[in-house]
Structure 1
Amino acid sequence: MDRRRFVTAAALGAGATLAACGPGPGHGRRNTGEVAEVDAPGIVTRPRIRWRLASSFPRSTEILYRAAEHLAARVGALTDGRFEIEPSEAGALVPPLQVLDAVQAGSVPIGHTASYYYLGKTPALTFETAVPFGMQARQHDAWIRHGGGRDLTQQVLDGFDVIGLLGGNTGTQMGGWFREPVRSLSDLQGLTMRIPGLGGRAMERLGVVAQTLAGGEIYGALERGAIDATEWVGPYDDEKMGFYRVVKTYHYPGWWEPAAALSFYVNRTAWEGLPSSYREALQSASDEVNATMLSEYDALNPAALASLLDKGVRTVPFPDDVMAAAATASRDLMDDAAAGDAQTRELLTSYRAFQSASDRWFGLAEWGMAKSKLR
């Protein structure tokens, strides 16, 4: 009887384990560069890997959190259950706004988050999520996939030893919940608002006191009066969060997030330690999550908006002077960030060039069609 040996190794990251088994030397093994494959029948050749995933989103934000569960289910199915990912909601493994830090450090091998939460590290990170007055979801996805956006954003992530994968998109967001309607630019002076990313910095230029709060902290802050306003996502998620119980004014549009793309971040060492087929499974699963999230929001937001209106919520457009001032502040903010950082400058140049061409086409076809329906 041939003697066989079993090899086990630990994968990087908290809660991650890897186990592989194969025969001894000289028994039909071929080296693929990741794991030993075996020709002998009945021998398991693919390793068993278990990872824990840290999410920035609470379980109560169903669609956002479900993205991690969706990824885990698809990766499991594509690897016959041998690559297991266990999602954990915001705060269960690491604080919700420290997911990137945890993945970078290797304390978790994978996380689900939004890059603009980490704007303080480098302004270049904002391009992966959203740019104020920037591209909508389809345009943003086209830039990432086919316009050079993925290569440029990955160059930024290389500095954090992280691999970025698509993690979903909410589409254009709402402008948020306000205790009192904003009737003019002067109404924003001294107003305290939960709003992260470059949108928050642009609001600060308009006189707002911007705060970055994790999803699970927002309702309590609004209810206590610690903040005067908040933005989150759109009708479906906002109704689930219960903001309408505290305030009734729902402003639009969310000019700071014409698209809101999320990301799965993978620790580079953990990524490189995966068999190539498992990396392909992660990539395919993230692509599926990305497409599914947007379509799910598009399907659920209309009914949620009708429900909010039935509850007495008032949808109110931002006044023209606010939109004009916000557009100016956003452009100046981006120009200032680009002037001080080479990566941001390269990203901004690419982003604006792609948006200019895309807006020309979308304005002719997509928005032209939309306008015709309003006649």
Structure 2
Amino acid sequence: MTESRKLTKRQFLKTAGVATATAGATTLAAPAVIGQSPIRWRLQTYAGPALAEHVIKPSIDAFNKVANGEMVIELYTADQLVPTGELFRAMQRGTIDAVQSDDDSIAAPVDISVFGGYFPFATRYSLDVPVLFNQYGLREIWEEAYGEIENVTWLSAGAWDPCHFATVKPLRSLSDLQGLRVFTFPTAGKFLSRFGVVPVTLPWEDVEVAVQTGELDGIAWSGITEDYTVGWADVTKYFLTNNISGAWIGSYFANTERWNAVPDHLKELFKLCMDSSHYYRQWWYWGGEAELRVRGAKLELTTIPEDEWKQVEEAAVTFWDEIAAMSPRNARVVEILRKYNDTMRHAGPPYREA
């Protein structure tokens, strides 16, 4: 992080609580009309600048254009205003207005937060995520869970890329995971620690340097598209083709008071822009993963044999049982995941291998 950005963050945190509270009572209290100041939101994404150019910026740019001066969303990238782990509370307080992230990384105080990000082997492909939310009932469960939380509204979930390892040393056996220090997500790290992986928590922007200095052996945070996009392919050497999840589950959230202050037509516009963002990621990641595996020149592909990787898949079954035991609602989610994956298996190709 540059010094100028640090200063911006400090100054923001000193003043935003008071300034935003005042704005919430005035500017945001009524729909914008001709001659009136526009509604202004601060939205922070989990993604750094290079990644944000794809995972959210096009949709926010579109929103600001079509909102025609009635509302303006200011987009901030990872840790720019608030550390990622503090995003939920900052949004709840009104320090920021909205968030794009997974539930797991922002420490959302709901039982289902463990399913955000990479829940081991819950998905095989990115299309699994919208189907699970829109046809299998996850949307209703997320709305129920966040409906119990004061002043935060969950808005929408979508799919990102699969979870692979990018490392400085080759992974060709499960034994190679022993002692491997990786940057990953909380629940994914908890699961991978069963195979000797050592999860390391760092600010997103520090990851590349941590690999260069030897603090990290690699990353289990993305697919190969992000490795190339954000620069991690420049500091690692190998990409493991096995993954623990076919798609990251991320969501949009908003401060409830700020959301309720937005007129209905702008709410609908924001919903359309979220869907546009979800669609963009579907093709950007899908095409990128294949293209870079085949033609990417920076990372050598490695694979752990199927019979060994089967042990990881079998361990996920036990892990799911443990998560289901945490709460009745978690048990409902796990039941849906089991039903869905069983349906996909019985459907056969192209849904799942025969």
Is the structural similarity TM-score above 0.5?
A: yes
SS at match of 1:112: strand
Query: How far apart are 1:11 and its partner, in Å?
Result: 10
Query: How far apart are 1:86 and its partner, in Å?
Result: 0.7
Report whether the alignment pairs 1:133 with 2:133. Answer: no
Q: 1:15 to 1:327 in 2, by over 3 A?
A: farther
1:287-311 residue CA offsets vs partner (Å, 9 max, x unmatched): 1111112212223344433453x34
Whole-Å Cα distance in 2 between the matches of residues 90 and 147 of structure 1? 31
Whole-Å Cα distance in 2 between the matches of residues 46 and 360 of structure 1? 57
Q: 1:148 to 1:367 in 2, by over 3 A?
A: closer
Within 5 Å, give how 1:1-375 maps onto structure 2: 19=27, 44=34, 48-61=38-51, 64-118=52-106, 121-135=109-123, 136-160=125-149, 161-166=151-156, 168-173=158-163, 175-255=164-244, 257-308=245-296, 310-311=297-298, 313-320=299-306, 322-361=308-347, 363-367=348-352
Q: 1:360 to 1:128 in 2, by over 3 A?
A: farther
Q: 1:148 to 1:72 in 2, by over 3 A?
A: same
Query: How far apart are 1:207 and its partner, in Å?
Result: 1.6
Query: How far apart are 1:251 and its partner, in Å?
Result: 0.5
Q: 1:80 to 1:170 in 2, by over 3 A?
A: same
Whole-Å Cα distance in 2 between the matches of residues 162 and 147 of structure 1? 24
Greater mean alpha carbon deviation, residues 81-90 or residues 131-140 = 131-140
1:150-208 residue CA offsets vs partner (Å, 9 max, x unmatched): 110122223433222336422334x2122322333222222212121322111111121
1:295-353 residue CA offsets vs partner (Å, 9 max, x unmatched): 12223344433453x34x21111233542222232222221122122221122122222
Say whether the 8 Å CA contact 2:100–2:252 is kept in structure 1: yes
Whole-Å Cα distance in 1 between the matches of residues 295 and 45 of structure 2? 28
State the TM-score, normalizing by the size of structure 1. 0.79
Listed as ranges, the gaps of 5+ residues in structure 2 are 1-17
Whole-Å Cα distance in 1 between the matches of residues 31 and 177 of structure 2? 62
Say whether the 8 Å CA contact 1:194–1:229 is kept in structure 2: yes
Q: 1:48 to 1:202 in 2, by over 3 A?
A: same
Say whether the 8 Å CA contact 1:169–1:261 is kept in structure 2: yes
1:45-74 residue CA offsets vs partner (Å, 9 max, x unmatched): 99720111112211022xx44433233223
Whole-Å Cα distance in 2 between the matches of residues 232 and 36 of structure 1? 40
Please say which structure displays the higher CA radius of gyration: 1
Whole-Å Cα distance in 2 between the matches of residues 18 and 299 of structure 1? 45
Greater mean alpha carbon deviation, residues 322-331 or residues 43-52 = 43-52
Listed as ranges, the gaps of 5+ residues in structure 1 are 1-9, 21-33, 38-42
Structure 2 letter corresponding to 1:269: E
Say whether the 8 Å CA contact 2:101–2:250 is kept in structure 1: yes
Say whether the 8 Å CA contact 1:17–1:50 is kept in structure 2: no
Q: 1:128 to 1:191 in 2, by over 3 A?
A: closer
Structure 2 letter corresponding to 1:265: F
SS at match of 1:137: coil
Query: How far apart are 1:357 and its partner, in Å?
Result: 1.6
SS at match of 2:222: coil
Whole-Å Cα distance in 2 between the matches of residues 16 and 74 of structure 1? 24
- Aligned-pair Cα RMSD in Å: 3.0
**What corresponds to 1:4 in structure 2?**
none
Query: How far apart are 1:127 and its partner, in Å?
Result: 2.6
Query: How far apart are 1:109 and its partner, in Å?
Result: 0.9
Whole-Å Cα distance in 1 between the matches of residues 300 and 89 of structure 2? 39
SS at match of 2:56: helix
Whole-Å Cα distance in 2 between the matches of residues 15 and 231 of structure 1? 40
Q: Sequence identity of aligned pairs in percent?
A: 20
Whole-Å Cα distance in 2 between the matches of residues 133 and 235 of structure 1? 18
Q: 1:301 to 1:364 in 2, by over 3 A?
A: closer
Whole-Å Cα distance in 2 between the matches of residues 326 and 119 of structure 1? 26
Q: 1:17 to 1:67 in 2, by over 3 A?
A: farther
1:195-246 residue CA offsets vs partner (Å, 9 max, x unmatched): 2132211111112111233431211111111122212322232123333333
SS at match of 1:156: helix
Whole-Å Cα distance in 1 between the matches of residues 20 and 188 of structure 2? 35
